[in-house]
Structure 1
Amino acid sequence: MDKRLLARLALSEVDSLARAVLELHGFSREQALAVARTMVCGQRDECASHGVYRLLVCIATLKAGKVDPRAEPQVHDHAPGVVRVDAAGGFSQLAFDRGVPLLRRKAVDNGVAALVINRCVHFSALWVEIETLTDLGLVTLACNPSHAWVAPAGGRGPVFGTNPIAFGWPRPGKDPFVFDMATSAIARGDIELHRRAGKPVPLGWGVSADGEPTTSAEAVLQGAMLTFGGHKGSALAAMIELLAGPLIGDLTSAQSLAHDAGAGASPFHGELILAFDPRRFLGERYEHYLHSAETLFDSIEQQGARLPSARRYEARRRSLAQGVEINDELLDELNALLHR
Structure 2
Amino acid sequence: MSLFDTEAYTCLSVQEVYELSFKVLTAAGLAEDQATSVAKVITAGERDECRSHGLYRLPGCVQTIQSGKLNKDAKPDIKDVTPALLKADAKFGYSVLAFDQAVDALAAKAKQNGIAALAINNCFHFSALWPEIEALTQRGVAALAMTPSHAWVAPAGGKRGLLGTNPMAFGWPRPGPNPYVFDFATSAIARGDLALHDIAGKPIPEGWGVDKDGNPTTVAREALDGAMLTFGGHKGSALSTMIELMAGPLIGDLTSLQSMAFDDNQKLAPMHGELVLAFDPGLLGGGDLETQSARAEQLFAAFADQGARLPSQRRFEARQRSLADGVRVPQSLYDRITALDL
Q: Deviations over 1:259-292 (max 9, x none)?
A: 0011110100000000001122235411011001
Aligned to 2:241: 238
Are the counterparts in 2 of residues 66 and 265 from structure 1 also a CA contact under 8 Å?
no
Structure 1 stretch displaced more, 241-250 or 188-197: 188-197
The equivalences for 1:119-268 within 5 A come to 119-268=122-271
Q: Deviations over 1:13-52 (max 9, x none)?
A: 1110000000111111111110000000000000110001
| Rounded Cα–Cα distance in structure 2 between residues aligned with 1:150 and 1:119 | 22
| Rounded Cα–Cα distance in structure 2 between residues aligned with 1:173 and 1:309 | 15
- Give 1:4 shift: 7.1
| Rounded Cα–Cα distance in structure 2 between residues aligned with 1:56 and 1:168 | 29
Are the counterparts in 1 of residues 84 and 115 from structure 2 also a CA contact under 8 Å?
yes
| Rounded Cα–Cα distance in structure 2 between residues aligned with 1:53 and 1:283 | 45
What secondary structure is seen at the aligned counterpart in 1 of 2:163? coil
Aligned to 1:48: 51
- Give 1:245 shift: 0.3
The equivalences for 1:1-340 within 5 A come to 5-337=8-340, 340=342
**What's the % identity of the aligned pairs?**
56
Could you say if the C-alpha distance between residues 112 and 334 of structure 1 is closer, same or farther in structure 2, counting changes exceeding 3 Å? same
Q: Deviations over 1:87-111 (max 9, x none)?
A: 0000111000111122122111101
What secondary structure is seen at the aligned counterpart in 1 of 2:192? helix
| Rounded Cα–Cα distance in structure 2 between residues aligned with 1:2 and 1:186 | 20
What secondary structure is seen at the aligned counterpart in 1 of 2:160? coil
Q: TM-score, normalised by structure 2?
A: 0.97
| Rounded Cα–Cα distance in structure 1 between residues aligned with 2:227 and 2:65 | 25
- Give 1:209 shift: 0.6
Could you say if the C-alpha distance between residues 299 and 174 of structure 1 is closer, same or farther in structure 2, counting changes exceeding 3 Å? farther
Amino acid at match of 1:156: K
Amino acid at match of 1:42: G
What secondary structure is seen at the aligned counterpart in 2 of 1:213? coil
Amino acid at match of 1:97: D
Query: Structure 1 segments of 4 or more deviating over 4 A?
Result: 1-4
Aligned length: 339
Are the counterparts in 1 of residues 30 and 65 from structure 2 also a CA contact under 8 Å?
no
User: Structure 1, unaligned stretches of length 5 or more?
Assistant: none
- Give 1:2 shift: 9.3
Aligned-CA RMSD value: 1.3
Are the counterparts in 2 of residues 22 and 32 from structure 1 also a CA contact under 8 Å?
yes
Q: TM-score, normalised by structure 1?
A: 0.97
| Rounded Cα–Cα distance in structure 1 between residues aligned with 2:85 and 2:59 | 34
Could you say if the C-alpha distance between residues 316 and 96 of structure 1 is closer, same or farther in structure 2, counting changes exceeding 3 Å? same
- Give 1:3 shift: 9.0
- Give 1:63 shift: 2.4
